Structure 1
Amino acid sequence: MEFRDLKTQYQEYKQEIDLAIQEVLTNANFISGKEVAELEEQLANYVGVKHCISCANGTDALNLVMMARDIKDGDAVFLPDFTFFSTGEIVSFRGATPIFVDVDRETFNIDTNKLEKAIIKTIKEGKLTPKAIIPVDLFGLPADYREIERIAKKFDLFVLEDGAQGFGGNISGKMACSFGNAATTSFFPAKPLGCYGDGGAIFTDDDELAELLKSLKVHGKGENKYDNVRIGVNSRLDTIQAAILKVKLKSFINHELESVNRVYKLYNERLEGVIEIPYIPDGFYSSFAQYTIKLKNKEQRDDLQAKLKENGIPSMIYYVKPMHKQDAFSGLAFDDQEFEITNNLCDTVLSLPMHPYLSEEEVNKVCAVIKEFMELQ
């Protein structure tokens, strides 16, 4: 059983993917080929924004926006404590200070009440200037952007949606990666929409920001790559990856997103009342990058993971260590008591196999092992 079955997906679309790759090889236009611009247009149309700017990876996507906004030393950027390292890394990389905020236990996303309190506390302390919020659409579920955007407007903060896991999700029909002032996603192979290497993209309706990002991602180019008007980076999505993503985007829209939500419902039907299952608020739709359950404590979680492994079932723990406890951020001051939920989640969450090609028989096998385990608790 695969945790995220990229092998079956490839076999399903082998002919289309191979042909797309072969066309790039035949044309030998490996950087900035026509497939890149075509993909950007398709992605922008799907998400419902004016601009999509592709780049080398999801981390670069976040960092490019930080560069464009001139986030720097003395600035404060607010983000969830329960997420992958890169969301905080790109803040420190710019010399700014990440302010970690505890999350909501039910959704795993940033707690908006605690976010507002953290902003007010930072303003009162007077040491840093609040500049931005980076909410994360964890496990495929969009964050509560209605509240986040209200708070951002109140304190005049820039909102950068980290949709690395959220691509395909929506709130009342408004798509993930269309919230805030700008949004990013990742095309890491295991993401809801993944390529066969690294890749990323930025989404925005801001014309000026889009033009600046296009310059920054190619060495700060002006009229052409030999006319450099600012300091930038080298961060381009290569043509082969774009060609692959064009094929996979079509399958994602046509059936994969619907199929992964079918798997979510199968899991729920079998596990509800047995174990704590994912919570999706009314009006929200998840792309289910992961299907994550909660156990009572670390010992129970680790024992269940071992039991699943004995039965040939893969599982993952996202995340074993909160952001505020990462050694790279050891120079930041924090009160561990302010992260009660995150600390608990790091000890109790477990993600089960989840992908559009997971069969009902495989779901049944996973759930049977979990039921057997829980009956003995």
Structure 2
Amino acid sequence: MNIPLVDLKAQYKTVEEKAMKAVSEVLSSASYIMGKDVTEFEKEFAEYIGVKHAISVGNGTDALVLALMACGIGEGDEVITTPFTFFATAESISFIGATPVFVDVEKDTYNIDPLKIEEKITKKTKAIMPVHIFGQPAKMDEIMAIAKKYNLKVIEDAAQAVGSEYKGKKSGAIGDVGCFSFFPTKNLGCAGDGGIITTSNDNIATIARALRTHGSGENGQRAYNLLNNINEEVKTSEGHDDTVYNPLKYYNYLIGFNTRLDTIQAAILRIKLSNIDNWNEKRRENAKMYDEKLKDTGLTLPFSILESKSVYNMYVVQSGNREEMINKLQDKGISTGVYYPVPMHLQKVYKNLGYIEGDMPVAEYLAHRTFAIPIFPELSIEQKDYIVDTIKDINC
């Protein structure tokens, strides 16, 4: 039996008819850029997360970059974040000229350790960027309390956590801004690249909307007026087709980007969003089964805090014999993934920051022990039993 880590083909089959119809409608409309499906998806996603605004962009990395800039963070500033994450988290901070300041993580949740944040705060610190790693929210009460004490922005990297909850509130609706990725392997993924910014702050939303389209048009003018305390009427672009011609886009007010969610991707995401709660529940069911049937193995299983509701974007376990484990699983046709083999503070690109091995002992410990096994919603009973039986047969 061969089981992939993520089965995108199996998921596609569950939405194929609706997806093909939606894509066909977009193609026949010829409204490929900022079309109706983009507007509708943004409304639906904002409502789902529980925020006032959702600003779609080209990918999750751009969501982080624009969120940071919209919060006024830039050259010379510092942003506190985790070393145990995908590179985009730290990269986005560096891209805008700020410096990522790494804080070690908790050994059980893999999330940033709130108890270690305050000691890293300096006069240059402007924000905290927690990552809801593998779909489990960080301890946001403690993080928000620290942010309030030091007047810092909180930007949630919720790339892996669509639908996850902390104390009944969805990730992306707790901090000042939330950032999501719709990369195909995410629990809510499109058929390519995509991302979105969520916020209930009107000013942040206005600036983010301007930045995603070259700082131009009515959103560019609104952002410019906001940043310069100007009170004047703003022209609107109603009735113009962004795909073919919109005269307002030739009036630029900020230095921005070209980072938009394609209408086709938005159409697909609208269909998938209607299924996300069901898919997330199946992930939790799969995780519960693993928790029960793998508890007596030599693996350290994922730990969920009582206050959170994880979506298990990945089911990540720990083993002191990781390489042996994944090789034996591979021999049996079971795919795995190592997340993450090198923590951010030890990446060569950050050598200039002066971190050395031993500075983040928990993240370094996890980097040598963690790996993911399949947990996607479409896993059959036979596949799950095969995974469990295979792991039990291996001397962990």
The answer for the alignment partner of 1:349 in structure 2 is: 370
Alignment of 1:280-359 (within 5 A): 280-296=304-320, 300-359=321-380
Alignment of 1:1-377 (within 5 A): 1-119=3-121, 122-123=122-123, 129-223=124-218, 224-253=248-277, 255-274=278-297, 275-296=299-320, 300-374=321-395
Decide whether the 8 Å contact of 2:68 with 2:155 is kept in 1: no
Give the drift of 1:191: 0.3
- Write the distance in 1 (CA, Å) between the matches of 2:128 and 2:147: 8
Decide whether the 8 Å contact of 1:168 with 1:192 is kept in 2: no
Task: Give the SS at the match of 1:22.
Answer: helix
Q: Which amino acid aligns with 2:382?
A: E
Please report the TM-score for the alignment, with normalisation by the length of structure 1.
0.95
Which structure 1 residue ranges, 5 or more long, are not aligned?
Answer: 124-128
Task: Give the SS at the match of 1:303.
Answer: helix
Q: How many residues align?
A: 364
CA RMSD of aligned residues (A): 1.0
Superposed CA deviations along residues 74-122 of structure 1, whole A, max 9, x for unmatched, are 2111000100001001111111111011100100000111112212xx3
- Write the distance in 1 (CA, Å) between the matches of 2:202 and 2:271: 28
Q: Mean Cα displacement is larger for which, 333-342 or 46-55?
A: 333-342
Identity among equivalent positions (%) equals: 42
Give the drift of 1:367: 1.3
Give the drift of 1:11: 1.0
Decide whether the 8 Å contact of 1:266 with 1:360 is kept in 2: no
- Write the distance in 2 (CA, Å) between the matches of 1:99 and 1:273: 38
Decide whether the 8 Å contact of 1:142 with 1:166 is kept in 2: yes
Regions of 4+ moved over 6 Å:
none
Decide whether the 8 Å contact of 1:165 with 1:186 is kept in 2: yes
Q: Which amino acid aligns with 1:325?
A: L
Q: Which amino acid aligns with 1:44?
A: A
Task: Give the SS at the match of 2:197.
Answer: strand
- Write the distance in 2 (CA, Å) between the matches of 1:314 and 1:164: 22
- Write the distance in 2 (CA, Å) between the matches of 1:222 and 1:15: 37
Task: Give the SS at the match of 1:66.
Answer: helix
Please report the TM-score for the alignment, with normalisation by the length of structure 2.
0.90
Superposed CA deviations along residues 140-175 of structure 1, whole A, max 9, x for unmatched, are 001111000001111111100000001111012101
Q: Mean Cα displacement is larger for which, 219-228 or 322-331?
A: 219-228
- Write the distance in 2 (CA, Å) between the matches of 1:301 and 1:234: 41
Superposed CA deviations along residues 14-60 of structure 1, whole A, max 9, x for unmatched, are 10000000000110110011000000000001000000000000000
Task: Give the SS at the match of 1:10.
Answer: helix
Give the drift of 1:364: 1.2
Which structure 2 residue ranges, 5 or more long, are not aligned?
Answer: 219-247
Give the drift of 1:182: 0.5
Task: Give the SS at the match of 1:225.
Answer: helix
- Write the distance in 1 (CA, Å) between the matches of 2:40 and 2:74: 34
Q: Which amino acid aligns with 2:90?
A: G
